[in-house]
Amino acid sequence: MPDLNELFKQAQKLKNEISRVREELKVKTVEASVANGKITIVANGHQEVQKVKLDPSVRQIKLSDLEEQMLSAINQVMQKSREMAKREMAKITGGIDLTNVPGLF
């Protein structure tokens, strides 16, 4: 039978590691660019958009096309952010995906 004190210590250690990684993910960023780099979106590991970079030449892009490209870049950067968070958490969980556990992200 496992030692309950040891299990509690291991659970506390994992909780502390998750907290540490969550803090690190606040400052780690990913980016996605579309329209040949004219539109770039930067997000952190908490799926928060940090920056939007637009080349001045986007003024020539038709508004509906610009909206479509912005949406594409946002969706791409959110996917990259989720993947980064999943990879970072997998390092401490032995590959167990905890990204869908309420309260962790």
| Domain chopping of the chain, boundaries | 28-93
CA separation for the pair 33, 42 (Å, rounded): 9
Residue keyed to tokens 């291991």:
10
**Which stretch of 2-11, 86-95, 96-105 has the lowest confidence by average pLDDT?**
96-105
Distance CA(46)–CA(70), nearest Å, equals 19
Encode pLDDT of 33-78 as tens digits.
999 999 999 999 999 999 999 999 999 999 999 999 999 999 999 9
Residue 36's contacts (CB-CB under 8 Å, 6 or more residues apart) are none
How confident is the model over 27-42, as pLDDT tens digits? Answer: 999 999 999 999 999 9
Q: How many CB atoms are located within 10 Å of the residue 43 CB?
A: 24
The rounded distance, in Å, linking the Cα atoms of 27 and 30 is 10
Q: What is the pTM of this model?
A: 0.82
The CATH number given to 28-93 is: 3.30.1310.10
Name the nearest CA neighbour of 86 among 11, 10, 16, 18. Answer: 18
User: H-type helices in the chain, by residue range?
Assistant: 4-27, 63-93
